[in-house]
Structure 1
C-alpha cells in the first residue's frame, strides 16, 4: 500500500494569508492525516500477516491429513509406526529448518545456488521477512518430508527416518526452493535482474519444489529398500497389500484438500494488494481464482480416476479415487495462480492419466510404494510443471509476477516456447539434484544396515517389534485377534 504524505508548508500556502495562523492549521490537519495514513499502513501489514499465518495453519493441518492417509494406507500392524514418523517429520523438520533450512532457502543477499543469511532466524523480523513467513515456509518443508515417508512405509528403520528427514528439510528442499522461489535464485521468476531464459520458472506453490522433491526422494528410498515382503509372489505377479482402513484414507484426503487452500492460495503471502487502486479486482480476486483452479483440478482428477478404474477393474474404488484427487492437486500447484479455471480441468484430467500410467509402470518393474507417493507427487508434479508452461495466461502472469512486462507465458496461449524450455530445465535439475543427494544418502544407510528392518520384524509388524504393541485391537489375515499391548508396570 502506497504511503500518503502531507506537507504543512504546502498546505499553509494553499490556505492563504486570510486564514488565521495558517501554519498552525495546516500542521494540525497534516498531523491528523498522517496519523490516519499510518493506521492504514499498520492495518495492511496486520491483514497480510494474519492471512499468511492462517495459510500456514492450513498447510500445517495437512500433516494430520498425511498422518491419517498414511495410517489408512498401511496394514494395521504398522499403524503406530507410520503415525510416529509423521510426527517426527514435523518435529525434526521444525528444528533443522529453523537452524539451517530457512537460511539456505531465503537468506538474502546471496548467490543463485544457496542462501547464506538468517541462520536460526538471526535479524528477523526485518523489512524483508517476518516470523509468519518462516512459519509458512516450514509448513511447506515438512510437507515434502511427509511425502517421502509414505514411499518407504512398513519396512524402514526408525533411525533412517530421523536422518533422512533432517537432511531433506535442512538442506535438500531448502536449496531447491532457493533456486526457484528466492529473489536471488538462478531460475526464480522473482529474480528480475537475471531472469532465466527471460521468464524464470513459474512454480507458484511447488509442483516441482515440494512435490517432485518429496516424490523423487521417496523413489530412491523405495528402490534401494526393495518391495515389502509378499508384495510380489515367486512368479513376479503383483499381490495387493491393501491398507487396513479406507475410512482413514478418506479422512486424510479431505484434510489434505482443506489444507491445500492454504498451500496454493496462501502462496501469494499477501492479499491486500490492489492491481488497480479503487477497483473491485485485485490480488484478493487472484487468491479466489487460485482456490477455484485448485478445486476444479482435484475434482476432475477424482472423477477421471473413478471411471477409469471402473473400466479397468470393474470396481468403484474409493482409495484410488482419493489418490487421483490428490494427483490433481499436486499437478495444479505450479500453475494455480496463472491459468484459467477451464484449463485446470484439463490439468486434472491428464494428471489422473499420468498417475494411472505411473502405477502401471511401477507394477511392471516391481516397484513398491505403499502410498503411490513417487508416482503421485513425482509424476503428477512433473506434469503440473509442463502444464503451467503450456497454459499460463499473459494477464495473470504479469499480475502475479509484476515488475517485468513482456514476460513469456504459456505456449498454447500464444506466449512462445521460452517458458516451456525453462520448465523442462526445472524438471531435469530437480531430478538430478535430488538423485545426487538423497540417492547416496539412502544407499549409505542401506550399506550401514540402518535402512530396512529385518524380515522377522517386518512380518510381525513394526508396532509390535519396535513400538511396544499394536495401535488397536484388530484381526490379522488368519483371523487371529491382535490386541494392544500396554506398557508393563514398573512396580
Structure 2
C-alpha cells in the first residue's frame, strides 16, 4: 500500500486535485463515479494507519459526521465500499472565516452577526446530538460565496456517549491555544460550554488566549500569543492595549439575559443574534457563576482549586489507598498458602510470597507496565496526562486490533505524572496477585532459582500481554466495536485478567512440575498431605477478604462513583455465600465441616464476583458466590482424584475455575444499570438474561483467548526453563523439606 496521489482511483472516487496537506492527512478533491458529483476526501498518511488509537479517532470522526445533518455543518458521505482508511465529505467552495477576516476587516456588524447566528445554530444541533466540537476557530468555519456557514473538522470532537480516546504524541491540552476552553488546558473532556467559550473568543473583542482585539471585526495580534493561555492558568488577564469593538445596541440584551440552568448555551445565543457579540457574557454561560467582569480572573481558568481539583485529589487518594489494601493482601496469600503446606516447607512458601513482590515490581516497572498500559494515555478521573502513548496493532477486516503497548518503559516518560504513577502502583499490586497464585499450586517442590526467573517472566511479559488485550485497549476490549459482541470482553476488576491468568499459569506449572513425592501411590490411592497450620490459613483468608474491598471497589478509580456501595455489598455477599456453599457441600458429604474448604469457598466467591461486581444486583452476586463455592468443593476432588493434579492450596480451582465462572456470570447477569459507553459501545452493559446474548459471546471469547494464549505460553516457558536450570528440587531435598536444604533455615527450629 502506498500514499494516495492525484490521478488515483480510490474505490468509487477518482482523485482530481490536492486541496491541502497536514501532518496527519491529505485533503483531495475527487469525482464520485456513481453520482458524478465532486466530493472531498480526507486520507490519513500511511504511518498513522497502524496506530490503533488514531484509527479509532478517525473512525469516530466519520461516525459523528454521518450522524449530524445540518445545513451549517459539513456533510459526511457513506461510500459503498472502503478498501482503506479515508472519509468522504461534500465539497464546499468558499473561504475560511480567518481568510475572510483578513480580507475584510473590520467585518460589518450585520455580516458578523449573520455568521455568528449560523454558527450558533450549528452548535445547537451538535449539542442536541451529544457532540462537542472542541476546536471551534475561524480556520474551521467556511463561508460560501452565498454567505452560508459550514463548520468543518470534527477530528477532536467529543461524542459524549463514547469512551475517551487519545493518540500517541498528543498533548494533554486538546484544542487550539487561541480558542481553548479552561477545562481543555487541564486535559478534561469538556462539554457544550467548551464550544460556547470558543464561540465567545470569536465573537467578543479580546480572545482569552491570544489577546486579539476583535476576532470577527479585526485581527491584530499581541506580541506574545502565549500570554493569554498563561492568564487562564494563573488567573491573570493577558496584557493587551486593544479595546473591544462591540455594538452598543447589543450590550443591554447580552447583560440582561443569560441561559437558565440546563438551557443549551448555543440555543440561547441563536435565539437572539445580538448575543453573539457579547463582551463578557459568554464566560458567564461557560461557568454560570460570578459576575461577568470576572472573565479572566475566574471564568477563563480551570477551577484548579475548586471542586474538580478536589475530586481528582480524592480519586487519587482513593486509588492509592485501594492499592495499599491490595498490597496488604500479599500477607493474606502468604498465610493461606503457608498454612495449607507442611511445616518443613513453611519458610520456602513464605519466602516465595515475599520475593514475588520485589521481583514483580521491578519487572513490571521495567517492561510490564509499558506492554500492558502503554497504549492508554490517561485516566481522566485522576487528572490530566502529559506524556504520549502508543499501542501496537494490526489491521484485520477493516479494524485495528491492539496487541501490546509500546510506551512508558521504566516510567521514564511519566516520572512526574501523579495519575500515571498512581495507576502504576495500582496495576502493580494487581499483577503481583496474579503472579502469587502459582506459588501455592507449585509449593513444596519448586526450585527457588526457577521461581525467580518465573517472577520476571510473569511480570514482564505473560500477565501484561493478556492484560493489555482487556484493560489496555487491546483487541478483546474492542470486540464490541470491531465484531459487534456486546461491549467487548468486560472484566471490571480482574476475574480473567488477574485470577484466571494466574490460575491457568498455575495449571501449566503444575503439569510441568509434576505432583509432590508420595502424593499419588501406585495402587491409585491418594496420600493426604494436610497443611500444618489451619488457624494461619483462616487468618490469611480474612485478611484477603478485607483487602478485596480495595481490589474491587478501588477499580472504580473514583471515590465519587456511587457504584462503590454496590460493589462492596456484592463482594461481601459473594464471599459469604461461597464460603457457606463449600462448607455445607463438604459437610453433607463427609459428615464433618471442613474449615479449609470454607476458606477456599470464600475466596472463590470473591474471585467470581471480581469481574462483574459493578454490573450485577446483590441477589445475583449471592447466586454467583454460591455457584463458585459449589464449583470449588467439587473441582478440588475432581482435579486431585481424577486428573491426578497436585495443588496443595486449591489455587487452580479458586482462581482458574472461579475466574472463568466470573467472566461467564457477567455475560449472564449484567443488568444494564452500569457501564454506559464501556469500551466505546453505547448503552449500559447487559447480559444474556437482560437482553444481550452477544455480551456472553464476548465473555466466552475472552476466556478462550486466555486458555489459548496463557496456557501454552506458560507451559512452554516452564518446559524450557526446566531444560536450562531445572524446575524441581532434588528428591532428597523434597523428602527432607525445602526449608533446611533449599532455604537454609527452619520455620520452627528445635530448641
- Alpha-carbon distance, 1:394 to partner: 1.3
Structure number with larger C-alpha Rg: 2
SS at match of 1:380: helix
5+ residue gaps, structure 2:
1-187, 206-249, 257-278, 281-290, 376-389, 394-401
Partner of residue 716, structure 2: 440
1-side partners of 2:687 and 2:415: how far apart? Answer: 37
Aligned equivalent of 1:88, options 355, 358, 366: 355
Partner of residue 590, structure 2: 313
Deviations 1:211-251 (A, max 9, x none): 11101111111112111112223312112111111111011
- Alpha-carbon distance, 1:458 to partner: 0.5
Aligned equivalent of 1:228, options 493, 499, 516: 516
5+ residue gaps, structure 1:
17-21, 273-282, 474-481, 484-491
- Alpha-carbon distance, 1:355 to partner: 1.1
Normalised TM-score (structure 1): 0.87
Aligned equivalent of 1:188, options 466, 472, 477: 477
CA contact 1:216–1:374 (8 Å) conserved in 2:
yes
What are the equivalent positions in structure 2 for 1:245-264 lying under 5 Å apart?
A: 245-264=533-552
Aligned pair 1:165/2:432, yes or no? no
Partner of residue 8, structure 2: none
CA contact 2:480–2:486 (8 Å) conserved in 1:
no
1-side partners of 2:660 and 2:420: how far apart? Answer: 31
Partner of residue 476, structure 1: none
Partner of residue 420, structure 1: 696
Count of aligned positions: 455
Q: Cα–Cα, structure 1 residues 393 and 220, in superposed 2: closer, same or farther, change >3 Å?
A: same
Aligned pair 1:378/2:625, yes or no? no
Partner of residue 288, structure 1: 565
CA contact 2:476–2:489 (8 Å) conserved in 1:
yes
Worse-superposed segment, 344-353 or 402-411:
402-411
SS at match of 1:264: helix
Deviations 1:274-314 (A, max 9, x none): xxxxxxxxx2x211101111111110010111111111111
Cα root mean square deviation, aligned: 2.6
Q: Cα–Cα, structure 1 residues 36 and 121, in superposed 2: closer, same or farther, change >3 Å?
A: closer
Aligned pair 1:100/2:367, yes or no? yes
Partner of residue 391, structure 1: 669
What are the equivalent positions in structure 2 for 1:324-339 lying under 5 Å apart?
A: 324-339=601-616
2-side partners of 1:167 and 1:402: how far apart? Answer: 29
Aligned pair 1:155/2:432, yes or no? no
CA contact 1:198–1:407 (8 Å) conserved in 2:
no
Partner of residue 133, structure 1: 423
- Alpha-carbon distance, 1:15 to partner: 5.4
SS at match of 1:84: helix
1-side partners of 2:251 and 2:338: how far apart? Answer: 72
CA contact 1:408–1:418 (8 Å) conserved in 2:
no
2-side partners of 1:402 and 1:173: how far apart? Answer: 20
SS at match of 1:298: helix
CA contact 2:480–2:487 (8 Å) conserved in 1:
no
SS at match of 1:46: helix
Higher helix content, 1 or 2: 1
Aligned pair 1:31/2:297, yes or no? yes
- Alpha-carbon distance, 1:402 to partner: 7.6
Higher strand content, 1 or 2: 2
SS at match of 1:197: coil
